[in-house]
Amino acid sequence: MELAWDKPVLTVYHENNEHPEREAFAIIKAKKLVLNQLERGGFSGNVEGFFCLMGDADELKSNQKYIVCWFDDKVDDFYEGFRRLSGVTFPSGVNYSLDKRNKRTYNAEFQAKYAKLK
């Protein structure tokens, strides 16, 4: 099963089960978010063409776990439109390209253990 969202704004938190974080680590605006459910359990996906509205994407580490949240624009009710991934890792880190004005546009593949998609 593949799911996709166009132009989501993603809020990224460090995953810390003992002391949950209240402050976002980064807020990013993406061109597209694609998510696939794996047969063995968990999820894989990628975030395409994103940039930071807050924080620094270069600080997303491959050995750190994150929580990623966003709202589904296709759902009118914010409570019902809330989406969340936990146990998110970026095994290959993040990659970026530079445009002619030296603006960075990032891409990243990720793995997630759990998801709230409805």
CB atoms within 10 A of CB 60: 23
Number of domains in the chain: 1
Contacts of 100 (CB under 8 A, 6+ apart): none
- Kindly give the confidence (pLDDT) of every residue in the chain, 118 residues in length, as a single tens digit, with 9 standing for 90 and above: 899 999 999 999 999 878 878 899 999 999 999 999 998 889 999 999 999 999 998 888 989 999 999 987 777 776 678 999 999 999 988 999 998 999 999 999 999 999 988 8
> Looking at residue 71, which CATH number applies to its domain?
2.40.10
- Say how far apart CA 24 and CA 11 lie, in whole Å: 6
pTM for this model (two decimals): 0.88
Query: Domain of 13?
Result: 2-116
19 Cβ neighbours under 8 A, 6+ residues apart = none
Residue with tokens 């009118």: 76
